[in-house]
Amino acid sequence: MNDYVLEARAINKSYVLGSSRIEVFSKLYVRFEEGLFITIQGASGSGKTTLLQLLGGLEKPDKGIILFRGQNISQFSSKTLARWRAETVGFVFQSYYLLPELSALENVDLPALILGKGDRKKATELLEAVGLEKRIHHRPNELSGGEQQRVAIARALRNDPSIILADEPTGNLDEETGKQIVNLLLSIQKEKNKTLILVTHEKEIACLGDKQLLLSNGKLTEIQSNISN
């Protein structure tokens, strides 16, 4: 049995900027074990967000493959990939990306509606789990930043994904609210045995990871492991 929930093998990724081509990754290899909390640090522009987008199927590599439990998602059709992403991956971004015209409840249930599995009861339970039982019918502009991020976390969990990809989820929050959000993600990860891959520039948050990776010059290096052998 494959112990790795996600693998990137020999990944090349570049972007065209004006008349130049910017290489982000060249033959990048990385593996992520099932059920761990993994943090990724790196300088601005090092490719952290691009890496998460590749792992979550939002971007395709120029070369190389992305594997989910040994299955090559790089070969999926657009339709198959979209369904895999909706069922398997929960995204939490620095910007909350909530639809302003929808209530918290409607935003949370949206991923399930896309799959034809809408269920307001389950969405309500998730909002209760993140401490927003009294804010269910409020729209994003009626919520604080921390509350909006909690809605975004509940939305990410709506289809019970095995993987949570969090890109600077505390970046727009004050220090205390940021700690609350990280603690919430950690409690969910441990309770539900999710694989949580979190990008952060904050060393205090990064140190909480079971494994801590540093992205530099297109390469990932393990700088710390908190796993007992």
Instruction: Report the percent of the chain where pLDDT is more than 90.
Output: 87
Give me the sign of the Cα torsion angle 227, 4, 122, 110: positive
pLDDT in tens, 8-38: 999 999 998 888 999 999 999 999 999 999 9
Residues linked to residue 65 through DSSP beta bridges, in sequence order: 9
Give, in words, the CATH class of 4-225.
Answer: alpha beta
Residue 229 is predicted with a pLDDT of: 55
Q: Cα 157 to chain center, whole Å?
A: 11
Q: Locate the domains of the chain by residue range.
A: 4-225
Crossing angle for the helix pair 120-129 and 145-156, to the nearest 10 degrees: 130
